Amino acid sequence: MSDSPFRPQRGRAAKLGHTPAEGGAAGSAGVSPALGPQASRLLALPATLTVPVARAGGTPAAPVQARRLRSQRHPFGWRFRPCFALLLLLLASCASSPPSKKVLILGLDGLDAQVITRLMDEGKLPNFSRLRCDGSFSPLATSIPPESPVAWSTFLTGLDAGGHGIFDFIHRDPATMAPYLSTTTTQGPGWTLPLGRWRIPLWQGEIRLNRKGRAFWEILEDHGVPGTIVRIPANYPPTDSDAKQLAGMGTPDLEGTYGTFSFYTDEPAGSYGEVSG
C-alpha cells in the first residue's frame, strides 16, 4: 500500500506511465512497451487527465497531463464508415411513403338525379347524403340517343356516338338483316369436327369489342395511375390494359347468351323460328 495521493485504477487507466524529469520538472506521459505499437493511437474522443504524481519520500510534485490511449484498433473505424452511410441510405429508402389519394366513382344505370336529390333531402338515403357531403354530386347530361350502351360508351371514352360507334342496344347485319348486340361482334370457328350431335371447333372463334376510342383508365395508366373497373357496362371483352377489370352489362353467360327473356305470342308453337331479344 503506497502513501501516494494517486493510485492508478485497474484497466486501461492503469497502463498510463510517467517518468519525472530531472530536477522535479513536470514530465510527459509515457506508454508502457507492453501495449505494443498500436497504443500510440488516441481514442476517438481523447480526454485530457490531470494526474498528481508523488516524488520519492511523499513530496508532491507538479501535476502531469496525460491522455487516454486506446490499446487496439476501434472495430468501427474509417473502413466501416462508407458501409454505415450506405446502410443509412437504405433505411431511408425503405421508409413508408405517404398513402396516395384515391378516387371512387359509383355509376348507377338509369338513376335520375332529380329523384335521388329529393330522396336525399327527405333523409331516406343517408349513405348517398354522406357521399354528397364528403365528396361531390352533380347531374350529368345524357347521350344522344339516350340509350344505356351509348351513354356508358360516352362516359368511358368522352366521345359521342359518332366517335365511339355505339348507337343503340342492337345493330343489324346489312347482309342478313339479323340483329346483334351493338357492343360486340362474335365470330365462331371457321372449321368444326362433327361428333354425333356435338361439333368440336378446330380452332377458337373471336369476340371483338366494337366500341372505339380509349377508355379513361387507359389514359390514366399512361400516367402511372392504376385502376380497378368492376362491372362497368359496354366493356366486354375487357380492354387490353394492366387495369383490373370485371365486365358488366353485355357479358354473355356460360351458354353464350346475354340473359333470359320471355316471348309471348298467339301463334302456334313451332310456327316461328329463332327468337332473339
Residues 68 and 1 in one domain: yes
pLDDT of residue 18: 46
Please indicate, yes or no, if residue 154 is contained in any of the structural domains: no
Q: Is residue 49 part of a domain?
A: yes
Nearest Cα neighbor of 148 from 105, 183, 113 is 183
Domain total of the chain: 2
- Compute and round to an integer the Cα radius of gyration of the chain: 44
Q: Examine residue 11 and state whether it is found in any structural domain, yes or no.
A: yes
- Residue 203 has a pLDDT of 82
d(CA 112, CA 119): 11
134 within domain boundaries:
yes
Domain around 40: 1-20+31-74
- The DSSP annotation for 37-68 comes to GGGGSBPSS--EEEE--B-TTS-B---EEEE-
3 and 70 in a single domain? The answer is yes
Evaluate whether residue 168 is within a structural domain. no
> Which residue has 493510485 as its cell numbers?
7
In a domain, residue 79? The reply is: no
pTM above 0.75, yes or no: no
| Distance in angstroms (rounded) separating the CA atoms of residues 123 and 65 | 87
51/116 same-domain check: no
Q: Is residue 59 part of a domain?
A: yes
Q: What is the pLDDT of residue 17?
A: 45
Per-residue pLDDT of the chain (277 residues; tens, 9 = 90+): 445 454 555 544 444 444 444 444 444 444 445 445 554 444 444 445 555 555 555 555 555 555 554 545 555 555 656 666 667 666 666 656 666 788 888 888 888 889 999 999 999 999 999 989 998 888 888 999 999 999 999 999 999 999 999 999 999 989 999 888 999 988 877 788 888 888 888 888 888 999 999 999 999 999 999 999 999 999 999 999 999 999 998 888 877 777 767 777 787 776 666 666 5
119, part of any domain = yes
pLDDT of residue 136: 84
Shared domain check, 114 and 66:
no
**What does DSSP assign to residue 261?**
-
**4 and 69 inside one domain:** yes
List CB contacts of 202: < 8 A, sequence separation 6 or more: 189, 190, 191, 192, 193
Same-domain check for residues 63 and 121: no
CA torsion angle 262 265 271 276 (round to 10): -40
